[in-house]
Every structure is written in structure tokens, then in C-alpha cells.
Chains A and B, each alone.
Chain A
Amino acid sequence: MPVPQQLAKGDRMGRGPYEKSGLIEDTGLPPGKLVKERFDIMYPLEEVEVNGKTVEKPSAYDLDIEVKLTYLPFGTPNSDPFVWKEFVKTVSISKSGK
């Protein structure tokens, strides 16, 4: 979203419409431009004993991934969200190997 500069000066973000007069940055999607986002999500690990040694192993091998493109005019994602696009996939990793 356009991050308004308070009264068009300095490094503070404006709060209400009465303070919005400049622009610090725009984090929105610009028209016609490809925007890429990448998320790296680590699998949860747990400590287990293997052959008398403590090692870290994934506590889950399947992750349910949910990506939502949400338009949030105000408040929090729980208060007044408008979910525009959604992607759901279970991502699995192998349980055996070196």
C-alpha cells in the first residue's frame, strides 16, 4: 500500500487522512508489473536418539502450505479480510536417504 508520509515531511508515517500528504514508499502491486515473492519455510525438527546419538529429525514430513492473497482495507487479517486468491498444497519430503 502507499505508505503516507506524515504532513509531507520527515520519516514518520502519517496516520489518518488529515496527515497523509506525502509518500514514503509503496508496497502495493504496481500495475502491469510482475511481482515475485518467495517464502522459505523450515520443517519443524525434534531431537531423537539414533544409535545412542542425539540427532535432529523432522517431526513432520508433510507440510500443509496455504497461500492467501488478502486485501485488507483496515484492521487485522482476522477482522475484515477479503481473500482474493488462494493456493493450497501439501508439500512432502522423503523419509529415507543419506
Chain B
Amino acid sequence: MNRLKVQGSLAAVLLLGVLALPAFAGKAGIGWQDTIAAKSGKAKTLAELARMYDSSSCAECHEEQHKQSQESIHARSIFGTARTAMTIMTTIENGLMEEPYSGVKSPKDVKVEHLMGCAKCHLPQLADAEDSVAQELVATLYGWKEARVKKDKETAKKLEAKLKSVGINCLVCHNRNAITHKWQDGYPKAGVVYGSKNGDHPSDKFPKMAASPIMDQAIQCGQCHGLGPNLELDEPTQCCTSYGSYLWAYKAEVGQENCQDCHMKNSKLGHNIQGYRDPAMTDKAVEFKAEAFGYHWRDGAQIRPKAVVKVEMVNRAGHSIPDG
């Protein structure tokens, strides 16, 4: 009887040990145990990941900002305009499946690490999830694509909504990615919303607020709107390189404004952060002057009338246009 009791206790200890295994075992810094991901443990489903970074309660007080952010494509960063969703599948098929050492022979082999080339910007919190979430995401993408081919609008709409259930929401910028230099400034803590002030925050889920050292700095956006290929990845990749262009082409030679100045403040768009689709941005992005005239041009004895069109443009944005 005693022996059985001992075995039961050992089993309980072992079980506890497994449950308490930190999501980021082995991290060198101090304080990562207080992050949302470490406290929650890695998400096992897409719904769990959505709950882990659920920012719907922000709307209770910050209604305007929340509404604005929902209008920005950040809110549907995995789905995008549908082109993002399609490109992730292209990356699986023409990238991962063609790369001989990726370990991906079919979409069923895709793990979180494989998707992070895309997700490091389109869904950075995927790093806080198990491979089962990567698989669920891939299955949802292909299910959505198939439903569209079959013209099954109901299924396509349902799966589209699932893909839109995760994205760059309030907590990605105001918590998870609110601190870049974590050994200097500390890891972002669960229960804290990061912005411009320190103090109490009237929310059960986020009872504290703290000043983020980078919330009003270009690097906040630069975390995703990158420098160039992320060479720390086993397979380096990066789509958007506008932060690199900002640093070396704009900041080095042209001006001192930052991303937030143009995309949030001067545009008056606030959290509805926009780019090439919105006249509030595009009207100011490029100075454009054109003139045209005609004359009878002579080439020796031959008269060849022509029109001459001269165009002058000055890019007033803080990065090259377009950026790829």
C-alpha cells in the first residue's frame, strides 16, 4: 500500500514537472519567465494562440484606436489581401518543398520553424506555439484555397475568418514586441501593457502599464519592416526591407522623421496604419511634376514631329518607393 502511494507521488511530481516545463527553456536572459508566452506555455491550437494574445478587451476603453487598428491590414496579417495567404502556400511549395534540406516533402511536414520566415513578421507570436499550430495554420490555408476552387463560399468564409483570428493586434506591438533590447530593458511582462506611461492600468488582465523604450521609435516598426534577409535563420529570407532603406537612404542623408510621424501622426490615421493604398499616405509620398510639348524634330532631311514629356519626382517618404 505504501509502495503504491510512493509511486503515485512520483507520478504526480513527474506530471507537474512536464506541465511546468518552460516554453523557452535555456534562454540566457533574466525575466523571460514573466512573458505572456512563458507564463501561458506554448499554444497547441490556433484558438489557444489567439487567446494568448487576445486584445479584444482593449476595445472596452480604447474603442477608437481598436477600430482604427482593425482597418489596417496589420489586423489580418496572415490573410492580407488574400495574396499573403497565397504567398505563404507558394513559399511552402516552391520554397520549402523544393529545398532539399528543409525536411519538408509535403505541407504536412511544415513546422513552426519552417513558417517563421513568413511569420517573423506576419505572425511573430507563432514562435510561442507548438508545431501543431503550424500544421493547423497550413491545413487552414489549404482548406481555404480548396474551398475557393470549389466555390464553396461558406467554407471559404469560415476558414478566412479563422486565418484572420490571429494577426498583428494590440498585444503584439504593446506587449510582445514592445521591447527589442531585452537584456538592457527587460523582457515584456504578462499583465503589462506597454505604451508611453508608467502606472496602474484599469484592466483585470493588464493591471499595469509601462513606458516602452521604443514605442515612438522607428525600430518598433523595423522589427518587421526589416533590414534585409534575416541571416540568423537557417534559411534567410525577408520581404519588406523598408527599415533598411529608412536607415541607410533616408536617415543617413535626408531627414529625421520616423515611421510613426508619417504613418500615424501626420497622416492623422492613428492606429489605422496604411501605405500605398491610402490617399492620406500617397498624396504626400511623392512630389510629381510633369510637362509636355510638341515640335517638328528634324533628322537630317527627314521631319519627324514628336512630343516630349518630362517628369520630375521627389520621393518624400522615409524609404525607397516601392519597397519590396
Residue numbers of A with Cβ under 8 A of B are 1-2, 4, 8, 15-23, 26, 28-43, 45, 56, 58, 63, 65, 67, 69, 71-74, 82, 84-85, 87, 89, 91-94, 97
Task: Tell me which residues across on chain A come within 8 A of B311, comparing CB atoms.
Answer: 36-39, 67, 87
Contact (Cβ within 8 A) A29 B94:
no
10 pairs of residues in contact across A and B, judged by CB atoms under 8 Å:
A32-B254, A33-B315, A38-B308, A39-B308, A40-B307, A43-B307, A63-B294, A65-B309, A73-B276, A89-B290
Contact (Cβ within 8 A) A2 B324:
yes
Q: How far is the CA of A37 from the CA of B255 in the complex (A)?
A: 24
Contact (Cβ within 8 A) A42 B305:
yes
Q: Is the interface of A mostly helix, strand, loop or mixed?
A: strand
Q: How far is the CA of A29 from the CA of B276 in the complex (A)?
A: 14
Task: Tell me which residues across on chain B come within 8 A of A33, comparing CB atoms.
Answer: 314-315
**Given known contacts A29-B313, A40-B306, A42-B305, is B237 in contact with A18 (CB within 8 Å)?**
yes
Interface residues on B, range: 35 or more
Contact (Cβ within 8 A) B282 A84:
yes
| Nearest CB on B from A26, distance (A) | 6
* Nearest chain B residue, comparing its CB with the CB of A4: B324
Which of B40-48, B153-161, B200-208, B245-253 lies on the face that meets chain A? B245-253
Contact (Cβ within 8 A) B95 A91:
no
Contact (Cβ within 8 A) B296 A35:
no
**Given known contacts A32-B250, A67-B311, A92-B294, is B323 in contact with A82 (CB within 8 Å)?**
no
Q: Write out, one digit per residue, whether chain B residues 279-322 have a CB within 8 A of any chain A CB (1) or not (0).
A: 00010011010111111100000111111111111111111111
* Nearest chain B residue, comparing its CB with the CB of A55: B303
Q: How far is the CA of A74 from the CA of B48 in the complex (A)?
A: 34
Q: How far is the CA of A74 from the CA of B86 in the complex (A)?
A: 13
* Nearest chain B residue, comparing its CB with the CB of A29: B315
Task: Tell me which residues across on chain A come within 8 A of B229, comparing CB atoms.
Answer: 8, 20-22
Contact (Cβ within 8 A) B322 A67:
no
* Nearest chain B residue, comparing its CB with the CB of A58: B305
Q: How far is the CA of A23 from the CA of B255 in the complex (A)?
A: 24
Q: Is B83 an interface residue (CB 8 A)?
A: yes
Contact of A67 among B83, B276, B285, B309 (CB under 8 A): B309
Task: Tell me which residues across on chain B come within 8 A of A34, comparing CB atoms.
Answer: 312-314
Q: How far is the CA of A51 from the CA of B322 in the complex (A)?
A: 55
Task: Tell me which residues across on chain A come within 8 A of B305, comparing CB atoms.
Answer: 42-43, 58, 93
Contact (Cβ within 8 A) B307 A28:
no
* Nearest chain B residue, comparing its CB with the CB of A42: B306
Task: Tell me which residues across on chain A come within 8 A of B180, comparing CB atoms.
Answer: none
Task: Taking A18-B91, A31-B249, A35-B314 as given, write out 8 further A-B residue pairs in contact, using a Cβ cutoff of 8 Å, ordered by the A residue number.
Answer: A18-B96, A18-B99, A35-B313, A36-B312, A41-B306, A41-B307, A42-B305, A71-B321
| Nearest CB on B from A60, distance (A) | 10
Contact (Cβ within 8 A) B94 A16:
yes
Contact (Cβ within 8 A) B95 A19:
yes
Q: How far is the CA of A91 from the CA of B217 in the complex (A)?
A: 48
Contact (Cβ within 8 A) A31 B320:
yes
| Nearest CB on B from A17, distance (A) | 5
Contact (Cβ within 8 A) A67 B314:
no
Q: B51-88: which residues lie under 8 A (CB-CB) from chain A? A: 83, 87
Contact (Cβ within 8 A) B236 A21:
yes
Contact of A17 among B239, B253, B277, B294 (CB under 8 A): B239
Q: Is B136 an interface residue (CB 8 A)?
A: no
| Nearest CB on A from B318, distance (A) | 6
Q: How far is the CA of A96 from the CA of B153 in the complex (A)?
A: 64
Contact (Cβ within 8 A) B254 A16:
no
Contact (Cβ within 8 A) A40 B319:
no
Q: How far is the CA of A69 from the CA of B282 in the complex (A)?
A: 11
Contact (Cβ within 8 A) B295 A71:
no
Contact of B237 among A17, A30, A40, A87 (CB under 8 A): A17
Contact (Cβ within 8 A) A37 B296:
no
